[in-house]
């Protein structure tokens, strides 16, 4: 079976949510875990769109909370595949919050998720390469191998620590 390359734009996925009091903590800002849930779901859909198969989350890194999300804000969670390696895909996710009254949008959270494409038997399988097109996609694609190496180093360290 021939695996074709796909533009990053074909995986682009957006989720929009209105933040209610039940989504927030005692500070009136959104629970980090709830934001992470939305990010993981959106990233998984991006990975499935890119690969055309079911995927499983392998890791999350560089999860940075850079601004608050408050009650009444609208959030937009955007994800797309930035890079692939055999059966794995790196997905960049950005969460922007929008204030209703002003329409001002600010970046609240960014992260990189790694997913593995699974075949019908649930085994890792080769995924299509990604073709970056925008300036951001090209920049993230170029820097992805370094992030991949860091993930592999962490994985090796975890394996060594389990043996201790």
pLDDT tens for each residue of 66-99: 999 999 999 999 999 999 999 999 999 999 999 9
Compute the average pLDDT of residues 56-70. Answer: 95
Kindly give the pairing relationship between strand 130-131 and strand 88-98: unpaired
The confidence score (pLDDT) of residue 158 equals 86
> pLDDT tens, 97-119?
999 989 999 999 999 999 999 99
Residue 1 pLDDT exceeds 60? no
Q: Could you give the C-alpha distances from 12 to 8, 35, 45, 112, 118, in angstroms and in order?
A: 7, 18, 9, 14, 20
Compute the average pLDDT of residues 139-146. Answer: 97
Residue 89, burial from CB neighbour count under 10 angstroms (0-12, 13-18, 19+)? buried
Q: Which domains does the chain have, with CATH numbers?
A: 6-162 (3.10.129.10)
């Amino acid at each position: 079976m021939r695996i074709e390359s796909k533009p990053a734009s074909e995986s682009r996925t957006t989720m929009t949510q209105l933040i209610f009091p039940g989504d927030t903590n005692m500070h009136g800002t959104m629970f980090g875990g709830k934001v992470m849930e939305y990010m993981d779901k959106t990233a998984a859909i991006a990975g499935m769109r890119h690969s055309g198969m079911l995927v499983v989350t392998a890791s999350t890194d560089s999860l940075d909370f850079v601004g608050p999300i408050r009650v009444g804000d609208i959030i937009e969670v955007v994800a797309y595949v930035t890079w692939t390696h055999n059966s794995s895909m790196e997905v960049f996710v950005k969460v922007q919050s929008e204030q209703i009254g002003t329409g001002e949008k600010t970046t609240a959270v960014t992260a990189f998720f790694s997913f593995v494409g699974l075949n019908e038997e649930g085994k890792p399988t080769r995924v299509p390469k990604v073709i970056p097109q925008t300036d951001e996609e090209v920049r993230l694609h170029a820097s992805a191998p370094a992030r991949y190496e860091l993930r592999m180093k962490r994985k090796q360290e975890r394996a060594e620590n389990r043996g201790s």
